[in-house]
Amino acid sequence: MDNRLKPICANLESPLTEVLDKLNIPAQGSIPGGICLVLDNNGVLVGTITDGDIRRAYIEHKSFDLKAREVMRENPIAFQENSSYQDILDKLPQALSQRKRGGNKFLSKIILVDENKTPVKVLNYHQLWEQRVATHRHVVVIGLGYVGLTLALVLADEGFLVTGVDIDQKRVEALNRGESYVHEVGLPEMLREQSQKNFRASTQMPEDGDVYIISVGTPVKKDAFGKTILINDYLKDASELIGRHIKPGNLVILRSTVPIGTSREFVAPIIESESGLVAGRDFHLSFAPERTAEGKAIQELRELPQMVGGINPESVEATVALFRELTPTIVRVDSLEAAEMAKLVNNTFRDVVFSYANHIAQIASHFNIDVVSTINAANKGYPRDRVPLPSPGVGGPCLTKDPYIFATVADKLDFDTTLFEQGRKINESMHDFVANSVLEQLRLNGKNPKEANILVCGLAFKGYPETGDIRNSTSIEILELLRDKVKSIAGHDPVASAEEIKEFNIEPVTIPEGFAGKDAILFLNNHRSYARLDIYEMVRSMNEKPIIYDGWHLFRYQEILHAAPSTYMGISFTHSSIENN
């Protein structure tokens, strides 16, 4: 049985008070409200109970001192879990008639069971009609990066027929072999199952698509004057592709992060020009932003609220019917523009808040103050405005880009330099701050940086939730600043493969072997495996007067200093047990 149904299940001897508690559980996600499933000792569905059943039982017995078996409606209507929604709708009248319930036009709840007659899902009747339309449509996801692939596979896992379209032939071939190039918990297993079932990848657009989801990259770059320019090539190509295939009644969902107004002013006109159709009249158009975190995208696609804004109410509801199977909470906003802005608000807020912590870390470094301990002290017991901890920088494909996208909107409105850009500037300045601090400490320890061997641990842009994504990583930015100033740099990451590391022209090493002969080791992401390292083995295998740069407060500096004459560098303070002449 699906564990998510346990809260609404009772056994034959369950007292009525327990049944009432289960009926009182509010509807959320896959748990419907207002029904209790009665199972026998083998987990077989033998009855159902609703409020109406309790009223009828009380009228008959004039008592609430009853057991579930005395209240339940026996021989409940149930359908096999592999039944299509259309099959259920076709068979439902006959099932009602057989149980002499022909006067009922529908059941309020539809129960799906497995081959052992154990309940696995409960649908609302009206939801069944909506999903009959949605899940039997052909969903086409354009762009199979982290965002597109995770969404495509979760949709396939929920029963949708999904085609993922990508221009990368090698990527498509790997997916069709069931091989994932994305590190996500549960994703490889889901791909292996769905690549033989509901999901396929292709470099060509299918002719029978009904729902088109755009999840292509929207990179930015700086022009010669330092002005941010959004590269719309991928978005333009995807929109033109859809325009050549779209049919009346189809749905287009934009999921890529874009400036406010892009869906209405850029995407819609391209599709309309290519197709001769009109958005909002001939086809639906919505913006439904992706807001998952790499490393737990599968989980968050099913837990986080899904925001939806549309060109009209019909477009919103068509999109809601699609996403309702994934997540228990749908947030409708007033327009395409409101949804576009909400996505930018989430990411730029995070970047600006992190920049505050990094800014005070830079200030604290001038006083050799442990800023992490200081912030923890400031937060302790204080009920308002929790301050985040600093880091060696803020990386990743979203936070490094989205503030600049938001800044382009402000620039069109003739704003001066925005808070978004200022926050980005501070976070990016951490790269120089870290690199210069390490170089200076090498000199203080009597080492010539040009003769120093360095190891960078944690190359992915974040360590927790873990990911192997090295794109837009602060570790790489810092490593590049050091590359020409030291003798050698090696790299280690607990998740990224040696082949992925080599793509960035970095020598991959294993640990603890990679510690040997190093003058400095920089820990630049917070993967939990690093906190379990043998400090003494690490420090004692390094060269004399070694430096440990701990960008994430992973270690106690006292242990580093006790292991051997060495230097511990936190993000804002330094302690050393080296006696310099």
Q: Per residue in 341-353, pLDDT tens?
A: 999 999 999 999 9
In a domain, 420, yes or no: yes
CATH no. for residue 27?
3.10.580.10
- What pLDDT is recorded for position 445? 96
Q: Can you give the pLDDT at residue 395?
A: 87
**Final residue in a domain of this structure, among 132, 159, 182:** 132
Q: Give me the domain span that covers residue 394.
A: 348-581
Query: What local confidence, expressed as pLDDT, does residue 105 receive?
Result: 44
Q: 526 with 510, same domain?
A: yes
Are the beta carbons of 142 and 242 closer than 8 angstroms? yes
Average pLDDT of the residues in 68-83 = 87
Predicted pLDDT at 126: 61
Among 117, 132, 147, residue at a domain's last position: 132
Spatial distance between the Cα atoms of 485 and 452, rounded to a whole number of angstroms: 9
151/304 Cα distance (integer angstroms):
13
Residue 113 lies in a domain: yes
Which segment of 24-28, 359-363, 563-567 scores lowest on mean pLDDT?
24-28
**Dist. CA 310–CA 253, nearest whole Å:** 9
Q: Read off the pLDDT of residues 122-176 as tens digits, 9 standing for 90 and up.
A: 877 666 655 555 555 799 999 999 999 999 999 999 889 999 999 999 999 999 9
For residue range 217-268, list pLDDT tens digits in order: 988 877 665 677 777 899 999 999 999 999 988 999 999 999 999 999 999 9
Q: Please tell me the predicted confidence (pLDDT) of residue 100.
A: 65
For residue 111, the surrounding DSSP H or E stretch is strand 109-113
Q: 73 vs 91, which has greater pLDDT? A: 73
pLDDT for 326 beyond 80: yes
* Arithmetic mean of pLDDT, 191-211: 92
Residues 106, 234 share a domain: no
Of 57-71, 212-226, 461-475, the range with the lowest mean pLDDT is 212-226
* 413 vs 415: CA distance, rounded Å: 6
Q: Which is higher by pLDDT, 197 or 480? A: 480
195 with 311, same domain: the answer is yes
> Any idea what the CATH number is for the domain that residue 274 is in?
3.40.50.720
- The pLDDT-based confidence of 491 (bands split at 50, 70, 90) is very high
Average pLDDT, the chain: 90
Instruction: Answer yes or no: do 109 and 169 share one domain.
Output: no
Q: Is residue 295 included in any domain, yes or no? A: yes
For residue 500, being part of any structural domain is answered with: yes
Where is pLDDT greater, at 208 or 221? 208
pLDDT at 102: 47
Q: pLDDT at residue 539 above 80? A: yes
Question: What are the phi and psi torsion angles at 3 (to 5°)?
Answer: -60, -25
Do 429 and 556 lie in one domain? The reply is yes
Q: Is residue 339 assigned to a domain?
A: no
Would 148 be classed as within a structural domain? yes
- Identify whether the C-beta of residue 392 lies closer than 8 Å to the C-beta of residue 358: no
Same domain, 165 and 196: yes
pLDDT at 436: 97
How do strand 211-214 and strand 251-254 relate by DSSP bridges?
parallel
What pLDDT, on the 0 to 100 scale, is given for residue 550? 97
Q: What is the DSSP string of 6-59?
A: GGGEEETT-BHHHHHHHHTSPPBTTB-SS-EEEE-TTS-EEEEE-HHHHHHHHH
Residue 107 is predicted with a pLDDT of: 62
Give CA–CA dist 198/189, Å, rounded: 14
| More confident of the two residues 430 and 76 | 430
User: Is the pLDDT confidence value at 103 over 50?
Assistant: no
Q: In this predicted structure, what is the pLDDT of residue 412?
A: 82
For 478, the 3-state DSSP assignment is helix
Q: Are residues 316 and 461 in the same domain?
A: no
Quote the pLDDT of residue 361. Answer: 96
